[in-house]
Amino acid sequence: TVFYDGWILRFADGYTKRANSVCPIYYSTENVERKIEECEKMYAENRLPTVFKMTPFVHPSDLDAILEDRGYTLVDRTSVRTVQLGSFPEFDSAACSIEEAVSLQWIETFIRLNNIDSKHRGTIHRMLSNIRSKTGFASIYHKGEVVACGFGVIERGYIGLYDVVTEASHRNRGFGEQVIRSLLQWGRENGAGFSYLAVVANNAPALRLYEKLGYSEIYEYWYRVKRCE
């Protein structure tokens, strides 16, 4: 991670845009065009495309238009949603296993369910092992095999849900919802009163599920990616 005049630059060997992007979230003082060029140079030196994670709160406020003029394409518009956990009913999570430390077995399952290239195994393990807040890694079993997984991170009264995924052949059978409800119950048992998550805006099935669970949008973010010449 590099802190550059109010912008946070993250590098994670190319695994996910979120972990390999510029986050322009704090006040900026330098010339913006020069800063963008410097970011492009740093990402090129790391053999990565230059990606900006954009929110309605970026600095400077016209950065999105500036990036568009420089040939950056808008991709992956994402909805950030929250829900209060007080009204959630108790949930029978017997089919769900939650571990509070990431295991190699969980990572292998996560890679399999997401069809992730195994070359990212080491990066994923380092990223998840380095989380310092209380974390729960959930797995749902069906006929002795893990068919869905995800993880939650508890911080300052919130549990954030990440990477909830169900094996393709077992989708639309409620396994993803079981992961979510199990993690929310675990979070509440460990002091969380609220939950947040992020969902890509065109993922209609996930949006329906999160609306059913009471999540409501608080803001959107999106990415600006430099087009290849």
Q: How far apart are CA 27 and CA 9, in angstroms?
A: 14
Q: Tokens 């695994």 appear where?
A: 15
User: From the CB of residue 133, how many other CB atoms can be counted at a distance below 10 Å?
Assistant: 12
How many C-alpha atoms does 94 have within 13 Å on its Cβ side?
1
Which own/partner pairs from 38-43 qualify as long-range (CB within 8 Å, at least 24 positions apart)?
38/4, 39/4, 39/7, 39/9, 40/226, 42/2, 42/9, 43/9, 43/11
Q: Is the peptide bond before 56 cis (omega within 30 degrees of 0)?
A: no
Contacts 24+ apart (CB under 8 A), 198-201: 198/78, 198/79, 198/80, 198/81, 199/78, 199/79, 199/81, 200/76, 200/77, 200/78, 200/79, 201/77, 201/78, 201/79
Predicted TM-score (pTM) of the model is: 0.86
Per-residue pLDDT of the chain (229 residues; tens, 9 = 90+): 999 999 999 999 888 899 999 999 999 899 999 999 999 999 999 999 999 999 999 999 999 999 999 999 999 999 999 999 987 777 666 678 899 999 999 999 999 998 888 888 888 898 999 889 999 999 999 888 899 999 999 999 999 999 999 998 898 888 999 999 999 999 999 999 999 999 999 888 889 999 999 999 999 999 999 865 5
| 3-state secondary structure (DSSP) of residue 197 | strand
Element (DSSP H or E) covering residue 69? helix 63-69
pLDDT at residue 20 in the model: 93
- At residue 15, the pLDDT reads 86
pLDDT score for 94: 67
> Phi, psi (5° rounding) for residue 186?
-60, -40
Amino acid letter, 105: Q
Are the C-beta atoms of residues 129 and 137 closer than 8 Å to each other? no
Give the whole-angstrom CA distance, residue 153 versus residue 137.
Answer: 9
Q: If DSSP codes are grouped into helix, strand and coil, which group holds residue 155?
A: strand
Q: Which pLDDT score is estimated for 216? A: 95
